[in-house]
Amino acid sequence: MRNILRNLIFILFFRPLIWILGLDVKYRDRLPLKGPAILVANHNSHMDTIVLMSFYPLRYLHQVRPVASAEYFLSNRYFEWFCRHILQIIPIQHISLKIKYKNPLEKVEEALNEGSILVYYPEGTRGEPEQMGKFKKGIARLAEQYPDVPIIPIYLQGLGKVLPKGRRLLVPFNMKVVIGEAISREADKRDFIVYLRDKIVSLAKEL
């Protein structure tokens, strides 16, 4: 039932919306259709998740799961229902909260074990419009734990203009997406983050 509702929302609302706004995608075929996989992108807008999910054919859509901050997305009842059941977000607590007895990435790991395709934003927040912030360490931990899961770097441009943080008015701008090749990972945590960030920055040059 929820799958049908999700498909309907994407067909009737999100996809036409994205078509009207205008989207150019480079290397769309690099997107893995089957999980487990992790899509890693820069984050500037709520549109990021919608656009990345809309790339997936409907029969693969149910396995795509965005990782998002629990405090933000679970704040309003209706919004929470939408996020949990339509977007199927995986809520995580910020590591900065230091809940020591609990692994903040536990649910993320569960999802990967189930073969989901994660949408992961290493910046942790949407931040300043059209600027890429610092990457957090969580992704490096996942990469270390799941060496066989492909990580796909993705660069998103223009989405932060369409719907920047803190704004409600959707203004049409062309959006551009470059999808990178699945990357091989290095052992060291910090190096991996730098490496990943450089990869995404270099994708920007392919526009």
Minimum separation from the CB atom of position 28 to another protein (A): 11
Residue with the two structure tokens 């693969």: 60
Minimum separation from the CB atom of position 171 to another protein (A): 5
C-alpha to C-alpha distance for 39 and 182, rounded to whole angstroms: 9
**Which residues partner with 175 through β-bridges?**
23
Residue with the two structure tokens 């149910």: 62
- Residues in the chain, how many? 207
Does residue 3 contact residue 83 with C-beta atoms inside 8 Å?
Answer: no
C-alpha to C-alpha distance for 194 and 105, rounded to whole angstroms: 21
Touching another protein, residues 136-165 (CB under 8 A):
158, 161, 164
Query: Amino acid letter at 11?
Result: I
Minimum separation from the CB atom of position 38 to another protein (A): 27
Among 16, 110, 114, 172, which residue interacts with another protein (rule: CB under 8 A)? 172
| Residues contacting another protein: total by CB under 8 A | 13
Minimum separation from the CB atom of position 74 to another protein (A): 28
Minimum separation from the CB atom of position 165 to another protein (A): 11
184: left (phi over 0), alpha (psi -120 to 50) or beta: beta
Binding mask 118-137 for another protein (x = CB under 8 A): -----------x--------
Residue 4, interface with another protein (CB under 8 A)? Answer: no
In the bound state with another protein, the residue whose beta carbon lies nearer, of 35 and 160, is 160
45: phi then psi, degrees, rounded to nearest 5? -160, 155
Q: Which residues bind another protein (CB under 8 A)?
A: 21-22, 24, 129, 158, 161, 164, 167, 169, 171-174
